[in-house]
Structure 1
Amino acid sequence: MPDSSRDTAEGAGWGTPEPGVYEELMPRRVEKLSWLNPKTLWPARNGLLASWFGDPTGSTRGRWVEQRLAAGAPADAVVRRDDPDDFSFMVIGDTGEGDAPQYAVVPGFLQVGQDTSFAVLASDVVYPVGGADDYGTKFYRPYKDYPAPIYAIPGNHDWYEDLQGFMREFCDAPPLTPRAAPRRFSRAWLRSLLWHTPGTPDEQRLAEARQSRSAPGQRAVQPGPYWAIDAGPVRIIGIDTGLLGTVDAEQGRWLREVSKGERPKVLITGTPLYVDAEYHPCPIEGGGGTVDDIVRDPGHHYVAAIGGDIHNYQRYPVRVDGRTVQYVVAGGGGAFMHATHTIPPVTVAGVREKDFRCYPLRGDSLAFYSRLYGRRLRLPRFFTLTDAQATAVIAERLGIPPTRAQGEPAPITPRTRLVAALLGAGRRPGRASRLRLPVRKTYTQLFSPGSATYSPPFFKCFLRLDVTPGSIRLRCFSATGNRKQELDPPVEDEVIIPLR
């Protein structure tokens, strides 16, 4: 088994190893997505408008579901497959930036997933706004050689054009008919004045792109933006959390219904329920409780809940009524990397630091961001930390032993402490540094996508789940962009989930 980041610095992708061949898969011209560019920011305004003037996602989703029902989609939105009791599937989240970090995942994904029955894309299939014209380079081209069907749930970025591109490409749905004009001077009317609507796609380019995944075994027309898949002994349920991370009342009723029964279940959600040592149960509109209420109900037999949206890997084994539910973050499939070094020591829902897993490791995350800030501020000698320095200072600030075994620990100097503090390393809950550079929210909203690194290590990841009648083996594989990890992707985390 190859070294992972938990074993050696080389396993994490540091040093000067041979670059992978992922660049050969990319188009000749790649547009580097930057959220500092007004041409990107302006079309992506719908999320902000929804938070100001009311979120229309639920009603729009209802119209999509009605359209799919009229077209013959199953009323219960369940896909019934004929997989055997022993089968495997892939999960990969937040993929669609269409640049080097996304394509760097592809060789390892194909290597690990070559014998799997299907894959699920968990959130944000296409950035920046889910436009149909972007599907060629951000979906069809990178996964053209994956031989099995790909199902998906939308993320908030897929909703920035009212889900038009997503519904067209995954559900074969025509555009919705325009709504009646809202009452003048109402909140909906004010929202409509600025609301971004999709343009007309390039039909010829889309038709050519679809040919790359046109084999009969690759096709999968799903019932709608949320669905369930009965495969072997398990039911996999995908929910759509829209623009603002909520579930509408109609979808909530459906979720309760398809969650009934003794068949073990895995939830795939656009927003994780546990992330960054915090609990986000996901409200259901109309007083319907939360998504996690449904997951925790012992009569529903959930064994795992996997969410995208946050661009790294995290796992929280939570004890619920005498059983363990694995809550997983799996959004490291291609978009810029969200930091893990800002995660405080974990004490949430009975999960302690020793039970928690993340990728990249906090030290690697700090080293990665120190290089980004060194380049952006043109102060590389001050900001840049080696992986050993970052690992040592993280251990000191969090009061935990180094995750990766190494030789003589790197000395911790005033500079390394200052850089770690400036970058928010190991911040305790409720304690905000008076002088801290934006890393978690502000940085990732503004600087991080524009500062995405285009050379390894990328710290991307994907999941493989191997199902048997008695268990699910969940493994997180890394993708660094280096040739060695392309040929034999390291396992960064593994857990056996009992089904009985």
Structure 2
Amino acid sequence: MSDSSRDTAEGAGWGAPELGTYKRLMPTKVEKISWLNPKMLWAARNGVLASWFGDPTGRTRSRWVAQRTAAGSPADKVIRRDDPDRFSFLVIGDTGEGDDPQYAVVPGFLRTGQDTRFAVLASDVIYPVGSADDYGPKFFRPYQDYQAPIYAIPGNHDWYEDLGAFMRVFCDDAPPLAPEPAPRPLSRARLRSLLWHRPRKNDGQRLADARELRSAEVQQAVQPGPYWAIDAGPVRIIGIDTGLLGTIDAEQGAWLREVSKDPRPKILITGSPLYVDGEHHPCTIEGGGTVDEIVRDPAHRYVAAIGGDIHNYQRYPVQVDGRTIQYVVAGGGGAFMHATHTIPRVDVANVAEKEFRCYPLRGDSLAFYSKLYGRRLHLRRFFTVTEAQAAAVVAERLGIPLTRAQQTTTRITWRIRLVASLLGAGRRPDRTARFRLPVRKIYTQLFSPSSATYSPPFFKCFLRLDVTPEAVRLRCHAATGNRAQEVDPPVEDEVTIPLH
């Protein structure tokens, strides 16, 4: 097995290694998403409108589900497969930007997943607004050689066009919803309706040709809607749709409570992680209760909850009534990397820093962002810190040991400390706090298209889960964009989850 980032800097993708072969898979012309483009910002306005004028996602979702049920989908929304008691599947989140970081994951994904029974895409299948004609270069092309079905749950970006393209691709070519009656004049709903972004009239003209790339019988999967359950071997896998604002509607909540009563062990897949960045986000259910209350109920036998949306990997082993539930963030499948160096020293739900795992390592994340800002602001000599320097200053600020096994102590200068503070390492309050630069979603939205994010290392990842009647082995595999990690995708984290 190849070195991981926990072993060596080379295992993390640093240095001058051989570039991977992923570029051969990419289209000749790649559209790079720029959130500096006013046209792009205007197209993606529905999330803001929903937060200002009320979120219509729950009602729209209910209409999609009713349409699928009327068309003959199972009312319980359970996909019953014939997997054996021992099988494997893949989980990959936030994939669909269609550029270098997404395609860099594909060679390792195919190599590691060649014997798996299916894959699940967890959140944001397509950026920026889930358009149907984007499915060719951002879904069908990259995964054309994966010889198994792919199921998916939508993320907020898939909802920016009311989920129409998602339903066409994953739900048996579901027809468009009939128009709703216009809201009453002068109401908030009326204003929202007037401003609401909708698909282009001709969107989807290239979809039929794109489908040919994944047209083999073994690749086909039809799901009953944007949320579903899969009975696979000894486990039930439940996927929920958290819509535009990271919540679920009352109808979906009632369904989740019902399918959670099944006696077999369960794994939740969600678009919004329940533990992330050292914080608990239990996910509100309309009408009362939370998703995490359902997950924690011992009668429901959940053993893991895996969420997308945040573009990195994190794992929190939370003790609940004498058993451990593994809460995982798995959104590193292709979109721009969200920082891990801003995660404070972990102390949440009795999970301490020594039990917490993340990828990329915080030091690698800080080094990555220091190079981005150095290039973006034309201040490379000031901002750029090496991976060794970044790891050392993160360890100092958080009071933790160096993570990389072969790393030695590096001298930390005032410049390194200042850069770490400006980039929010450890989020420790200090005199420079008010001057911190954006390094998470704001940076992604503003700067990623025009920074050095199209050359390795990318710090992408995907999960492989090996299921037996006794346990599930979960492994996080890295994809850096370098050849070495394509040939033998390193394991960045591994945990065995008992089922009994």
TM bin, normalised by shorter chain, reads over 0.9
How far apart are the structure 2 equivalents of 1:6 and 1:408? 13
How far apart are the structure 2 equivalents of 1:291 and 1:380? 45
Is the alpha carbon distance of 1:204 and 1:435 closer, same or farther for their aligned partners in structure 2, counting shifts above 3 Å? closer
Q: CA deviation at 1:438?
A: 1.2
* Alignment map for 1:166-177 (pairs within 5 Å): 166-171=166-171, 172-177=173-178
Give 2:315's aligned residue. 315
Q: CA deviation at 1:185?
A: 0.5
CA shift digits 1:447-479 (9 cap, x unpaired): 235536111000000000000000000000000
Give 1:300's aligned residue. 300
Q: CA deviation at 1:150?
A: 0.1
Q: CA deviation at 1:441?
A: 3.9
SS in 2 for 1:169: helix
Give 2:137's aligned residue. 137
Give 2:426's aligned residue. 426
Deviates further, 427-436 or 135-144: 427-436
SS in 2 for 1:476: strand
Supply the AA of the counterpart residue of 1:230. Answer: D
How far apart are the structure 2 equivalents of 1:429 and 1:414? 17
* Alignment map for 1:60-459 (pairs within 5 Å): 60-171=60-171, 172-201=173-202, 203-287=204-288, 289-428=289-428, 433-448=433-448, 450-451=450-451, 453-459=453-459
* Aligned residues of 1:307 and 1:331 also touching (Cα < 8 A): yes
How far apart are the structure 1 equivalents of 2:28 and 2:443? 29
Is the alpha carbon distance of 1:452 and 1:481 closer, same or farther for their aligned partners in structure 2, counting shifts above 3 Å? same
Q: CA deviation at 1:203?
A: 4.7
* Aligned residues of 1:36 and 1:450 also touching (Cα < 8 A): no
Give 1:40's aligned residue. 40
How far apart are the structure 2 equivalents of 1:124 and 1:388? 33
* Aligned residues of 1:261 and 1:299 also touching (Cα < 8 A): no
SS in 2 for 1:372: helix
Supply the AA of the counterpart residue of 1:25. Answer: L
How far apart are the structure 2 equivalents of 1:459 and 1:106? 13
Is the alpha carbon distance of 1:306 and 1:494 closer, same or farther for their aligned partners in structure 2, counting shifts above 3 Å? same
SS in 2 for 1:177: coil
How far apart are the structure 1 equivalents of 2:445 and 2:219? 34
Give 1:467's aligned residue. 467
SS in 2 for 1:252: helix
Is the alpha carbon distance of 1:310 and 1:499 closer, same or farther for their aligned partners in structure 2, counting shifts above 3 Å? same
Q: CA deviation at 1:446?
A: 2.3
Supply the AA of the counterpart residue of 1:339. Answer: A
Supply the AA of the counterpart residue of 1:110. Answer: L
How far apart are the structure 2 equivalents of 1:450 and 1:185? 41
SS in 1 for 2:136: helix
Q: CA deviation at 1:34?
A: 1.2
Q: CA deviation at 1:261?
A: 2.6
Supply the AA of the counterpart residue of 1:72. Answer: G
How far apart are the structure 2 equivalents of 1:56 and 1:178? 14
Is the alpha carbon distance of 1:80 and 1:371 closer, same or farther for their aligned partners in structure 2, counting shifts above 3 Å? same
SS in 2 for 1:197: coil
CA shift digits 1:150-207 (9 cap, x unpaired): 0000000000000011001000211101111110010100101110001134555211
Is 1:7 aligned to 2:16, yes or no?
A: no
How far apart are the structure 2 equivalents of 1:78 and 1:315? 27
Q: CA deviation at 1:43?
A: 0.5
How far apart are the structure 2 equivalents of 1:234 and 1:429? 44
Is the alpha carbon distance of 1:407 and 1:442 closer, same or farther for their aligned partners in structure 2, counting shifts above 3 Å? closer
How far apart are the structure 1 equivalents of 2:217 and 2:271? 28
CA shift digits 1:15-52 (9 cap, x unpaired): 00000000000000001111111121110000000000
CA shift digits 1:297-346 (9 cap, x unpaired): 00000000000000000000000010000000000000000000000000
Listed as ranges, the gaps of 5+ residues in structure 1 are none
Give 1:479's aligned residue. 479
CA shift digits 1:48-92 (9 cap, x unpaired): 000000000000000000000010000000000000000000000
How far apart are the structure 2 equivalents of 1:329 and 1:97? 19
Superposed CA RMSD in Å reads: 1.2
TM-score with structure 2 setting the length: 0.98
* Aligned residues of 1:464 and 1:476 also touching (Cα < 8 A): yes
* Aligned residues of 2:307 and 2:330 also touching (Cα < 8 A): yes
Q: CA deviation at 1:443?
A: 1.9
Q: CA deviation at 1:481?
A: 0.3
Supply the AA of the counterpart residue of 2:305. Answer: A
Q: CA deviation at 1:408?
A: 3.8
Q: CA deviation at 1:428?
A: 3.7
Q: CA deviation at 1:244?
A: 0.1
Once the two structures are aligned, what percentage of the paired residues are identical?
80
SS in 2 for 1:426: helix
SS in 1 for 2:375: helix
Supply the AA of the counterpart residue of 1:465. Answer: L
How far apart are the structure 2 equivalents of 1:243 and 1:436? 28
How far apart are the structure 2 equivalents of 1:264 and 1:449? 42
* Aligned residues of 1:2 and 1:11 also touching (Cα < 8 A): yes
* Aligned residues of 2:397 and 2:428 also touching (Cα < 8 A): no
How far apart are the structure 2 equivalents of 1:483 and 1:443? 28
Q: CA deviation at 1:262?
A: 1.9
Q: How many residues align?
A: 499
* Aligned residues of 1:35 and 1:450 also touching (Cα < 8 A): no
Is the alpha carbon distance of 1:95 and 1:431 closer, same or farther for their aligned partners in structure 2, counting shifts above 3 Å? farther
Is the alpha carbon distance of 1:123 and 1:214 closer, same or farther for their aligned partners in structure 2, counting shifts above 3 Å? same
SS in 2 for 1:229: strand
TM-score with structure 1 setting the length: 0.98
Q: CA deviation at 1:369?
A: 0.2
